[in-house]
Chains A and B, each alone.
Chain A
Amino acid sequence: MAQGPDPASGARGNLPPLSLHVPEPNFRPGDPVDYSFLDIPPAGALPRPDETCPATETAPLCSGMVRVLGDDHLATGPWDPKLDPETLRRMLRAMALTRAFDDRMYRGQRQGKTSFYMKCTGEEATSIASTFAIAADDMVFPSYRQQGVLIARGYPLVEMINQIYSNKADKLKGRQLPIMYSCRDHNFFTISGNLATQYPQAVGWAMASAIKGDSRIATAWVGEGSSAEGDFHAAMTFAAVYNAPCVLNVVNNQWAISSFSGFAGAERSTFANRAVGYGIAGIRVDGNDALAVYAATRWAANRARANGGPTLIEHFTYRAEGHSTSDDPSAYRSAQERDEWPLGDPIMRLKRHLIALGEWSVEQHRAMDAELVDLVKAATKEAEKNGILGHGLHHPFHTMFEDVYKELPWHLEEQAEQAIRERQIKWPEWKPE
């Protein structure tokens, strides 16, 4: 038998050498894809505990998966939110609009109208159904792939495109990377490029709401990859300690750029199971099932609003496209993954559900898609009047130095003068705006 070192004699024993485990995804480019290893329970299989239940009662929900839409495209089980057809159609429309918007913006980047774009294809249900399940004045602390929240809240597409183009009408004055929106009047926090920082901030916002005896809650978004950040765990600790009224979402889309979810710990546990260790409620939900996402979020929001504390929701989904316009996923994963994804496409599933209910048709859907393409096209044209990136129609030069502080200190005033002088040397005809 293998023996370890003997402390008394100092003998080293005969154990084989240690070896480091480096996770490896199941499929690489060219590999055939077989998802049979995934344990996906049928729709309606999991119980729905009362919203005020002890957090421990949600443990089975953390390792299972809440699903509502069955293979027959009908809603089933205790998590069926029983939404009226009109709400379902509005949700479907927001999801389809998000996809049409993504397609257009992606092409715009390829045409050189901006530097960067990120689509959320395949993940539309996570942000949109979740937004339908909370109040308009609940505060959202997004990561970078939650454009669906803004679209679901009716934020004007033109404003989004102005930001993406960093043009003269961009409310953020051309300072932020495209898609890093900030929309205070839509209760949408400024997106950071630093990952997971919004998590403890959301908890702090929720604590403030509780301090003030408010009724609003906060929601936060993070990818499964950045759930490895310390900020995630700081947020979980604070949320648990102060029973903060918040919904903490982890979008498990399987990939963090080229690193599969195993590099965030997915080989060992589900992400929802993190909730168990912190003693807060958790739910793992089929992220491509808009009804399940709605139901889980509604449950968590009701719980938070009733002083029941935070809930961690893992949205199990798939990033159907590259991380961003700067990424080519064919370099690291099998193209078959998307086709074989066992949870399907969220828009198709909701569409089929509405059709199965007799509340929608293929023709209606086709007409809606065509209308949405036109809608996005019109908004794009409108935004392009304000300029595209790098074509001069940006904000006045001096704004580069503003908002670092509330008031401009002397050293920034000096530096602004320097920048303006440099510009005048290069383009003598240029006049400061």
Chain B
Amino acid sequence: MTEAAPKTEASGRRLNMIEAINEALHVMMARDPDVVVFGEDVGYFGGVFRATVGLQKAFGKHRVFDTPINECGIIGAAVGMGAYGLRPVPEIQFADYIYPGLDQLISEAARLRYRSAGEFIAPITVRSPFGGGIFGGQTHSQSPEALFTHVAGLKTVIPCTPYDAKGLLISAIEDDDPVIFFEPKRIYNGPFSGYYDKPVEPWARHEGSEVPEGYYTVPLGKARIVQEGEAMSVIAYGTMIHVAQAVCREKGIDAEIIDLRTLVPLDIDTVEKSVKKTGKCLIIHEATRTGGFGGELSALVQERCFYHLEAPIERVTGFDTPYPHSLEWAYFPGPVRIGEAVDRLMKA
């Protein structure tokens, strides 16, 4: 897989996000014989998004295998394997399919350590592609991260570059707590400006695609300042980082853009410091609005930065509807919706 990585004009090794994830899995399976990978179509075929290509050949079908179409069984078996001492990395083919596994995640994986006072743990990393922008319709486009950030005992991680995807996934696999690792599938193959009508950019021209070989980690719970700025703080994660960057570039706004990378545990210090500096806060996510993680962020910023705020906190999100198929781009919080919020903040 890595041999096929695009090599372009830039220096360094360039990978797209799928290749980076695949490489993280290769690295961890080679380092730790207790790591096992399983899920629907992940074995011989290598996954519908190709994230597990080559793993079964390299590590054998006892450690990389296909599963029945049963997310409850996939997560439930992972919990049992974790109790045995393995370090399972199950894939849920689409985040939209994760719901049959929720009881096993919420009542079991997230609670084992607490209810057994540390006798049993669930060192599981559930990988799952999420988000829209690929004409997946309402059952292949959802962003259900807020369901998981609401659960005590789960960690929720979302990368926005190939470099982070590899380093965060390695950290997630090594973590002794259950981690929901949502992969923004729209940016598997290239960063996305939000202009769906423009040609797709490849990762090779993005600095985030420089991925070192072998083992390295990006710590969980640590946000990244994507760009420093003074005009406002933009807090986002996943695909929306790239859209926010494009909008601010286009409007010539000197925004500070923060990629959360981990929603729980949240790097509140980086957020707080930035908002206190800029006095303005724009929160963006693709997920539906009501009860979304943006509401939590907004409350935290208000609690901690109220007297530094020069304008109401802006929240740009998907609409509170299922993700429509034909009107996908009307749903997506793209440059127009973000641009309006940016303008309001700049006028304030």
Contacts and interface: CB of A to CB of B under 8 A. Distances in A.
B265 A203 contact: no
A201 B115 contact: no
Given A205-B81, A208-B86, A182 B107 contact: no
Interface in A147-199: 171-173, 175-176, 180, 182-184, 189-190, 192, 194, 197, 199
Given A204-B76, A204-B77, A238-B70, A175 B114 contact: yes
Contacts of A139: 83-84
Interface string A387-405: 0000000000000000111
A409 B70 contact: no
A378 interface: no
A206 interface: yes
Interface residues of B, number: 47
A237 B70 contact: yes
A197 B265 contact: no
A205 B68 contact: no
Contacts of A211: 36, 62-63, 81, 86
Contacts of B177: 405-406
Nearest to B75: A200
Interface stretch (B15-23, B117-125, B273-281, B307-315): B117-125
A194 B79 contact: no
Given A237-B70, A238-B70, A404-B114, A182 B80 contact: no
Given A175-B117, A182-B115, A406-B177, A230 B83 contact: no
Contacts of A182: 115-117, 119-120
A189 B155 contact: no
A192 B114 contact: no
A231 B314 CA distance: 42
Given A182-B119, A231-B72, A411 B80 contact: no
B324 interface: no
Contacts of A404: 113-114, 152-153
A53 to B, nearest CB: 25
B80 A409 contact: no
A279 to B, nearest CB: 13
Interface of A: 139, 141, 171-173, 175-176, 180, 182-184, 189-190, 192, 194, 197, 199-212, 218, 230-231, 234-235, 237-238, 241, 403-406, 409-411
Interface of B: 36, 62-63, 67-68, 70, 72-73, 75-81, 83-86, 88, 100, 103-104, 107-108, 111-121, 152-153, 155, 175-177, 221, 264-266, 268
Top 10 closest pairs, chain A to chain B, by CB: A204-B80, A200-B76, A204-B77, A234-B73, A201-B80, A208-B84, A409-B265, A205-B80, A190-B116, A182-B116
